[in-house]
Structures are given as C-alpha cells and as structure tokens.
Structure 1
Amino acid sequence: MKRQLLAALSTTALLATAVGCASGGPAASKSSAAVDPRTATGSVTVWLMNEAQTTWPELVQQVNDEFAAKYPKVELKLSYQTWTDKIANLDGAIKAGNAPDVVELGNTETMKYILTGALAPVDRSSFENNGTWIKGLADTCTYQDKLYCVPYYAGARVGIYNSQLFQDATGSAEVPKTEDELFAALDKIQAKNKGSAGFSALYLPGPYWYAAMSYVTAYGGAIARFDNAGNWHGTLSDPKSQQGIQHFVDLVKKYNHGDVKANELNQANVLGKGKAAMLYGNGWEVSVALAPITGDPKLKDTVKLAGMPGPNGKPLPSFIGGSDLAVTSKSQSPALAADWIRMFTSAKSQQILVDKDTLPNNLDQLAPLRSKPETAAAANAVPDAWFIPMAPGWGAVEKQNILVNMLNDILKGKSVEDAAKAADAQIDQLINNPS
C-alpha cells in the first residue's frame, strides 16, 4: 500500500474516533469522566470471548465490581462471544451502527479493523506495564506509531508429547534439547512402534503453515517484508525461506505416517488416541488429548509440554498467539471504555491470569512462569516469537489459503523453489490492498 493511502486510513480512524467522542455527551468525554466519575452516566458494552466466562470468571467479576464502584451511574453491558461467530457478529454490528464499546480481538484480527477505521487509538502511557508488554502482542495493536488496542494475554506453540512413549523407546521421558537429539529419539520411537499402523513419532500435518513458517523464521526467512518504497512483497522464494520450507517438508515426509493432506485442527486427537508420540501445538490442545471423546483421560500424567528444538541448535521460533482489547471508533463512551480496559489489563488483573497458568501481557509477570514446569515451554517461547505480516491485505492472503496450497503442492511433487515463487506472486497481488 502506498504511504498516502496508509495516511488516509489512519486519518479515517482518527476522524471516526472524534465523531464517537463528540456524540457521546458528558459521559463520553475524557475531561468529564476525569472530573467526577460518580456523576458520569451512560453505558459501556463489552464483548469478551467465552474463555473469560469459563476460565477466569473471577477476573471479570473483579473488574466489573471495580468499574461499578468508580462509575456507579454507568450501566455495564457484558456479552460473551464464540470464535466461530464473533467476526460475523462484529461486522454486522459495525455496519448497523451498534458496535460494542469494548471488543476482544484475536491478535490476527486486529489489522483488519485498524485499517477500516473501526478501532479508536488509545494512549499507551495510560496502561499499566506498557513498558514491558510482550512485543509480539503490542505489535499487533500498533500501526504507524499509534496504539489501537491493548494486549490482553499471550500464547505460543510448543512440543506436546507422550512421555511414556519417549521413556519406553529412549530410556528418558524428557524431550531432548537439540533437534539432532530429538530426531534420534523420534527414530527410536518410530522403530519401536512400527507395528502400529499409521503411527507417527512426530505428527506434523502437511498443510500446517504455522509450523512451516516457524521453520522459515528459524532460518532467517519470512513470509513477506516491507520495503523502502512503502510496499509489502512476498519473500518465500528467498533462499533462507526456502531452506525453512524444505526443512519442514522433510520432517512431514519422514515422520507423518497418517494423512499428510489433513490439517492440524484435529492433531491433538491423534496424540490422544495413541497414534503419535509428539506434535507441535498450542498448550490448550493438551485438554483435547485428554478428553474422553477426543482423547484418553488416562494420559493425564503422561502427556507433557516441552520447548520444541529447532535448527542450528536453537529452540524453534513460535507463532505468538493471544488476544487484545480495543475501543471501537464509534463508541459513545470511549473514555469509559478505555478505563474498563485499563482495569481489565492492570497488573492486579493480569496476576489472576498468571495464577491460572495463562501467559500475561507483559514480561515482568511472565518471568515466574518461565521456570514453572507447567508453563515454562510456552513462557520461554513468547519473547522471541514471530507473527504474521501486519499488512493491509494479509486477510486476503490467508483467506485464499496461499500458504496451505503452496505446502500441498510441494507434497504433491512440486519443487520448493517453484511453489514458493508462485506463492510470492499471489501474495504480491493481495498483500498491499485492504482486505
């Protein structure tokens, strides 16, 4: 995208914010809220994902009580959303002019709403721990040096493995620290289970582009880069990126003895059903592997997490996951909405997440989790994690399955070089245009 268009989009977001502030009346202005919160009136509508309701309801209650004590005349309306329906619901609400004041967004969703002017800029300095926010999360909220959302919590992909299978085949229940040692262990596990049809020592789905791009990152490559002319361009065909893609494909071919065309959505089921010794996934996938229908509850003390060894003697870079909280640009009460987020992301609130082994939004409170067995793998993967290009057309790139199709083509026999060049050409057509 040209710089002029980027500036125009940023201006649109600012104008939208100004309209929201102007139309909100006394409760919406920053000055009136600061004068006497007890006299502020109006309402604040908050959309959170359903994990907040099921996993840390005490955090929600604590913040809502704190907000009500500060703003006794302001009505707080809380709604829980599901990941399946949230985007459609939000797009519909924005179009109808009744968007929530506060919305939780997955960190891959933020750019779309920033570029369309749907989110209001907020003052970074007014939020606790802003100087130690996890960079990968803060970057998903930042555009042209302005902050459009606030980091909420983080996530990272790690090695999830059956420690008993490692113990039986190698004499150790631990995942080795280096990739070469891991391969030696996986070879022993595969040999010991050769009688089990479809068993994969490492279950690495062929179209699993998040894993593939972790290997690309490990070699110094990238999906796309931003050039001096103000444009993004695909860089999968760069030598370092090709090296990472080839490494990933080689692992899929060697260790995945299931359907290599299947994606990663049900990989935890494979581990839970005893058809894999290890996979690369999100920590929450452990619960799927242990559930009665999708896995086996008897594996409770057997399935464990570990940092995933990567090339060149270093850990495999992880994709940074997580959620952010934003004030919508047409909010009638932007100052109140921002204050609710301020309370919800305070150090006091983040500690509730930490106590539940959820990765917080900042490095200070993350530190204890880096040495805790239950969280060490993910917590140590977060600081150096990678993220998708924060480009205006990334949504279209992902929607058209360009990376998935590239990997499938390679597994069907197309060379890495040719498949990467074709993917770059498609990326270049889409990535600079708002999706």
Structure 2
Amino acid sequence: MKRQLVSASLAIAALAAGLTACSSSGSPSADGRGSSADPKSATGTVTVWLMDDAQKNWPDLVQRVNDEFAAKYPGVSLKLAYQGWADKVGKLDKALAAGNAPDVVELGNTETMKYVLSGALAAVDRTTFDNSDSWIKALANTCTYQDKLWCVPYYAGARVAVYNSATFQQATGSADFPRTESDLLAALDRIADRSKSDRTFSPLYLPGPYWYAAMSYVAAYGGSIARFDSSGNWHGTLHDPKSQQGISHFVDLVRKYNKGDLTVNEQNQFESMARGHAAAFYGNGFEAASVTAPVTGDPSLKDVVKVATMPGPDGKPLPTFIGGSDLAVTAKSAQPGPATDWIRMFTSAKSEQALADKDILPNNLTQLNPLKNKATTAAAANAVPDAWFTPLAPGWGAVEKQKIIPDMLAAILKGKSVDQATKDADAAIDQLINNAS
C-alpha cells in the first residue's frame, strides 16, 4: 500500500532523505531479522510507552503479552510506562530531543506523520505481523510513507450515538434510537419538553469544542478541513460553503440541546449520562461501558444504555472520524528487534481478538467483520468503511496542537460569525499545514 503524500517543500524532501539514512544505519533491523542472536541470550532493557486506555480497559492483555515477551526474552527487562493523552506528545518530544526516548511508543493515528517525517521512527516489515493483509486501510495509511511501514496499527475507533433507551421510551414511546435526523430532532424536542424543569439536563450532550463531531457534520455536507491543490500545497477549506454548512449545523445542535458548560470538551462526556444529566451523546462505542462501569459510572444503567448509528443531516449515517492508535519503534532504539517483537505480540491475532472481545475495534477487517453483527459493536464496526480522516499533510500535527478548530468553534459559540471564524481558521491552518517541523 502506498500513501500518496506529496511534499510541499524541499524541506520535506530533505526530511524524507533523512528517513532513508536512519533506516539504513548499521544497527540491527527493526523487524528483528538483522540479528541472528538467540532471544534467550539477549540482554538489555525495552521501554514501552502505552496510553492509559490500556491500563484502564485491557490490563489483562498487557500482562499476558508482557509474560509472553519475558518467556521469549528472559534476559531483557521490560519497562512499561503509561501515558496520558494531554501531555504525551510534549513528553515524547522532550525525550527524543534528549536521546532517551522509549523503544516502543503508542501514537494516536493523527500524530504519526509528524514523527515519520522527522525521522523519529524505525521502518518495520509489514509481512511479519498478523493479519497485515487485512489491516483497516485508514489505519495502515497513517503508518505508510514512501512504500515503507513506520508503525503498526493497534486498534480502531469509530463514533456512535450512546443513549439512555429508558429516557427515549418515556418521551417517545420507543426505546429505539431514531434512524433519521428529523426523527432524532423530534425525539430530542420531546425529551427536552419532559425535562424542562431540569436546567442541567441535556437531551443531546454535544460539547462545544468537540471538533471531531463538528468535522463529521462538515463531512456530511461534503466539506473538508483542508485540500491539496494543484500547486503542491495544502490549504484550509473551512470557509468553503459546504464546510460552513456543516459547522453551522453542529453549532445549532450544541446551542439547542447541550445544557452544560459549552466550553468543556468531550474527554469525559460519558459522565453527563452516568450522573443523569444527558439522554444521549456522540462518542466512541467503548464510552457506553464507561457510563455503566462501577467506578466511573452508574452500574444501574447497564440495561438501558445502548449504542446506535448516529443519523446525519443528509438522510445517511453521520460520517465518523476513524480514530485509533498505532505502535512504533523509535529510530534510535538500542533494542529494535525485541521492541518490534513486543509490538508483534501485542498486535497478534490473539491479542486483537482480546480487544474485540471487549468491544474494541481490532486493527483488521478479518476480526472486525464479526463485530458488525454484534449489538454492542454493530454501529461502530459498520461505520469504519465510510469513515473520514484528518488531512494527510506534513503540518497537520501542528494544526491540531494549536487547537485551531476547537478555538474556532469556541469563538462561534461566543458570538463570532461562522463566516469570519472559518476565514480566520483557514488563515491559521495555512500558516502551519505545509510545514513538517
């Protein structure tokens, strides 16, 4: 598979050349084939950075893989550190600059390009990983550059409607989530009427800075965040009429149905339902489990919290962002072979099935397909083929880091016109999106 990413400047070409230099160094190959050493005689330390999602949701998988690794590499110490999404990128950048980066790092799939283009990651051999011939294309694309694989898909994420079926039953006479947006809005209006005495109750909890949701509405109207033009540059397209339609639609929904603080993001939106303050929200399928979990939520809601396909404004399902994570070996790892082997174990068919059994979307279509017919995963699994993704541009990481789109949404909700806010956002995007640094 080849990702068609065309460099916007000679600087990008130079960086690409640097990647080749990194991958052709004299160190053992990252796929482990460059060394004939017996794993039993290997020594040293492999440091792994995983996001804390694994610690919270599948610690049993992590332990099993670590045990498997220890059996194969008894002389290699494994140092595992869990990271939070809020500060991981900053910590990784500092570690790379200081020369003490982890051997294995989990990257959100919108983060990978920055590290690929900077030469921070080591190339790996796709053919040595389970189910690589059926990896979800959008995930594999985030790891592929110049016909080389620079990271390994870990798991996918797709957003769905999470709703309290009892609340819908009481307000509409049906516990099913509406299939069209017009029916959904009618149901939300009925719920709003029944709950009007509670000013903290949101018929639809839709956070104002929730740019993944906002851009889903942009995609539904045929708009986009940015496009690659014939001159060889990316440019922002939020000011385009179709994009503006989607943004306006999103903002209207937020203003009408979210009764919470409009400046709060979606990171812990499941809490609104767990605390009895929301009838529905738009989130990852696994957030439904957080609503009913013993520690984070309310277990008494287990039989009423359900997931469904979120209808869009065009009579079709709302396009979802294809989220997820990748795993990579850093370019200067002193243990590329064992490090890659750990990733191989952690993304094996057995490991991916462990994720699927917990209703997490696996990295491949072979193991994803059965989830399309499972009640708790059908909506998310079926959304994957038509999902959208962020621009495959060299400076996208900087755009995201600067929070240009969330800030645009915040400005609109404070009263700035959609026309001016999108024009300003495009100007800010244009300053960053073509630069790899």
Do these two structures clear the TM 0.5 threshold for a shared fold by scoring above it?
yes
The residue number in structure 1 matching 2:186 is: 184
The residue number in structure 2 matching 1:13 is: 19
What does the per-residue CA deviation read over 1:251-304, in whole Å, with 9 as the maximum and x for residues that have no partner?
A: 122222333333323432222222221111123333443357865332222222
TM-score norm. by structure 2 comes to 0.90
Structure 2 residue 276 is matched with structure 1 residue 274: yes
Q: Amino acid of the residue matched to residue 75 of structure 1?
A: V
Does the 8 Å CA contact 1:209/1:403 hold for their aligned counterparts? yes
5 Å-filtered alignment, 1:316-331, equals 316-331=318-333
5 Å-filtered alignment, 1:214-293, equals 214-290=216-292
5 Å-filtered alignment, 1:156-175, equals 156-175=158-177
What does the per-residue CA deviation read over 1:54-103, in whole Å, with 9 as the maximum and x for residues that have no partner?
A: 4334433443444445445x514131212145334433332222222221
Does the 8 Å CA contact 1:16/1:329 hold for their aligned counterparts? yes
Please say which of residues 371-380 and 267-276 is displaced more in the overlay: 267-276
| TM-fit CA distance, 1:46 | 2.5
The residue number in structure 2 matching 1:379 is: 381
The residue number in structure 1 matching 2:343 is: 341
Q: Distance in 2 between matches of 1:397 and 1:49?
A: 22
Does the 8 Å CA contact 2:30/2:122 hold for their aligned counterparts? no
Q: Which of these residues, 33, 42, 46, is aligned with residue 30 of structure 1?
A: 33
Q: Which of these residues, 126, 140, 143, is aligned with residue 141 of structure 1?
A: 143
SS at match of 2:157: strand
C-alpha RMSD of matched pairs (Å): 2.5
Q: Distance in 2 between matches of 1:370 and 1:168?
A: 29
Q: Amino acid of the residue matched to residue 13 of structure 2?
A: A
5 Å-filtered alignment, 1:79-228, equals 79-83=80-84, 84-228=86-230
Q: Amino acid of the residue matched to residue 8 of structure 2?
A: K
Q: 1:196 to 1:292 in 2, by over 3 A?
A: farther
TM-score norm. by structure 1 comes to 0.91
What does the per-residue CA deviation read over 1:316-339, in whole Å, with 9 as the maximum and x for residues that have no partner?
A: 111122211101100123233223
Segments of 5+ residues of structure 1 without an aligned counterpart are none
Does the 8 Å CA contact 2:108/2:326 hold for their aligned counterparts? yes
Does the 8 Å CA contact 1:32/1:40 hold for their aligned counterparts? no
Please say which of residues 312-321 and 290-299 is displaced more in the overlay: 290-299
| TM-fit CA distance, 1:38 | 4.8
Q: Amino acid of the residue matched to residue 337 of structure 1?
A: A
Does the 8 Å CA contact 2:109/2:324 hold for their aligned counterparts? yes
Please say which of residues 94-103 and 42-51 is displaced more in the overlay: 42-51
Q: Amino acid of the residue matched to residue 145 of structure 1?
A: D
Q: Distance in 1 between matches of 2:214 and 2:106?
A: 28
Q: Distance in 1 between matches of 2:202 and 2:335?
A: 54
Does the 8 Å CA contact 1:27/1:40 hold for their aligned counterparts? no
Q: What is the count of residue pairs matched by the alignment? A: 430
Q: Amino acid of the residue matched to residue 56 of structure 1?
A: W
Q: Which of these residues, 398, 401, 406, is aligned with residue 399 of structure 1?
A: 401
Does the 8 Å CA contact 1:17/1:120 hold for their aligned counterparts? yes
- Taking every aligned residue pair, what percent have the same amino acid on both sides? 66
The residue number in structure 1 matching 2:3 is: none
Q: Amino acid of the residue matched to residue 375 of structure 1?
A: T
Q: Which runs of 4+ in 1 moved over 4 A?
A: 26-29, 35-43, 68-72, 291-295
Please say which of residues 222-231 and 357-366 is displaced more in the overlay: 222-231
Structure 2 residue 359 is matched with structure 1 residue 357: yes
What does the per-residue CA deviation read over 1:392-424, in whole Å, with 9 as the maximum and x for residues that have no partner?
A: 222322232221222222223333222211211
Q: Distance in 1 between matches of 2:50 and 2:250?
A: 36
Does the 8 Å CA contact 1:207/1:408 hold for their aligned counterparts? yes
| TM-fit CA distance, 1:14 | 2.5
| TM-fit CA distance, 1:345 | 1.3
| TM-fit CA distance, 1:9 | 1.2
Q: Distance in 2 between matches of 1:89 and 1:419?
A: 32
Does the 8 Å CA contact 2:31/2:124 hold for their aligned counterparts? no
SS at match of 2:420: helix
Does the 8 Å CA contact 1:46/1:76 hold for their aligned counterparts? no
The residue number in structure 2 matching 1:427 is: 429
Structure 2 residue 8 is matched with structure 1 residue 2: yes
Q: Distance in 1 between matches of 2:133 and 2:40?
A: 30
Q: Distance in 1 between matches of 2:105 and 2:64?
A: 18
Q: Distance in 1 between matches of 2:358 and 2:141?
A: 25
